[in-house]
Structure 1
Amino acid sequence: MTASSAALAALSGLGFGLSLIVAIGAQNAFVLRQGVRGQHVLPVIAVCALSDIVLIAAGVAGFGTVVEAMPAIVTVARYAGAAFLLGYAVLAVRRAMSSSALIADAAGASVAVGASVLTCLALTWLNPHVYLDTVVLLGSFASTYASPDRWFLAAGAMVASVVWFLALGYGARRLGPLFERPAAWRVLDSLIAAIMFALAIGLVVS
């Protein structure tokens, strides 16, 4: 292992990690909403980033072969995740249609930190794409590197996750003035509902 090969592996991990994370999905939509509300942003970011770190480490350590050998794990996560996403989509629709909910959102009504963390955990760990992308795909990519370098690749992917969620969560706060109007919350919740419904259907039919 040389310094140049380690740096190249880390940069590859950074780019590969961002390519997997920077996409419209349930987790990112939830982080965005929490960021706009300015509530429990750091705990939510911590859950997302720490979950990714654990999954990335598992993939690089070789647990992707375990997931591939036990497809039942992915199947269970697929249907449980679809059910949860459908439930969350229904809640988003109800928020979009409820004037009281919109006014509460515009006023920044607080939600318990525990509820936010549990929702984030469910959106993360009940998503089978997390296991297929982070554990299997990234793990397979890392296996093409020599043993020392693959952990630099893992470190790069972990940094990508932390940077992305920090940017998404705290960057969304700049949209705060826009969401002082209930109509803006109606649009956001409608988009979130559409994303959740599409993801849930995709999980079932995939």
Structure 2
Amino acid sequence: MAGSSIASDPVNSGILPAAIAGFGTGLSLIIAIGAQNAFVLRQGVRGQAVLAVVGICAASDAVLIALGVAGLGAVVTAWPIALTVVGLAGGIFLIGYGVIATRRVLRPAGQGLTVEGASASSMRIAVLTCLALTWLNPHVYLDTVLLLGSVAADRGSLRWVFGLGAMAASLAWFAVLGYGARLLSAVLARPAAWRALDGLVAVTMLVMGTLLLVRTF
């Protein structure tokens, strides 16, 4: 009887360790400051379309993680041309967004935390930008589908538990980043501080866009 209770214990059966490993691995892949994180941070500070942006990022990661756990990493490596096309489109998009952010730094127009209403237009722009930043980045496919998928495969029958842990990490990170960003409102109430944030966004987008184009060629 005691032996059966131990076997059914998720800690002893390896379910909990697999989920924790997935959470840690997923968090390590997304926590670095990148184009997507910089965008989520900016939207969170302004309080614009935060739920939509956080939802898109988390749901997209969940789809990509599921594809990786399902073993579709081989498909990614088998289509180098597709990754090249994505890299070109993503690099151009990031540079374009970086230029727009640079213009906001050089020519601020009432920057600060006077947040305008979330119109349908601003919501649509935020959603489309978030989708582009997420799906036009070839590193997303290499890191999430290929790398995380290969690590999950080592867990054998618990690979989906590992994947669920990684999905939970993505959701937790983007929720904290998006909604926690409002804690910076006191600092970013000053136009100069807001310009500094836009400067961070601009540099991140321009550097990552340039690196994508260079690596693609």
Superposed CA offset, 1:108-150 (max 9, x none)? 1245111101100000000011000000000111111213x00
Whether the 8 Å contact between 2:111 and 2:194 is mirrored in structure 1 is: no
Q: In structure 2, what is the Cα distance between the partners aligned to 1:21 and 1:106?
A: 27
Shift of 1:177: 1.7
Q: How many residues align?
A: 203
Give the TM-score normalised by the residue count of structure 1: 0.95
1:202 aligns with 2:179: no
Aligned to 1:69: 78
Measured in 2, the distance between the counterparts of 1:205 and 1:110 equals 39
Check if 1:106 corresponds to 2:113: yes
Q: State yes or no: 1:17 paired with 2:17.
A: no
How many angstroms does 1:163 deviate by?
A: 0.3
Residue number among 139, 148, 155 corresponding to 1:129 in the alignment: 139
Match of 2:40 in 1: 31
The letter of the residue matching 1:129 is H
Give the aligned CA root-mean-square deviation in angstroms. Answer: 1.3
Q: Percent identity?
A: 56
Among 182, 187, 193, the alignment partner of 2:191 is 182
What runs of 5+ residues in structure 2 fail to find an aligned partner? 1-6
CA distance in 2, matches of 1:205, 1:169: 30
What corresponds to 1:97 in structure 2? Answer: 106
Which 4+ runs in 1 deviate beyond 4 A? none
User: Matched residues in 2 for 1:9 and 1:50: separation?
Assistant: 21
Q: Whose Rg is larger? A: 2
Corresponding letter in the other structure for 1:177: A
Counterparts in 2 of 1:164-175, with a 5 A limit?
164-175=173-184
Task: Give the superposition deviation at 1:182.
Answer: 1.2
- Report what 2:62 is aligned to: 53
Q: TM-score, normalised by structure 2?
A: 0.90
Letter of the 2:129 partner, please give it: T
CA contact (8 A) 2:112 2:190 kept: no
Q: C-alpha distance in 2, partners of 1:105/1:164?
A: 25
Q: For residue 180 of structure 1, give the secondary structure of its aligned residue in structure 2.
A: coil
Please say if residues 111 and 195 of structure 2, whose CA atoms lie closer than 8 Å, have aligned partners that are also in contact. no
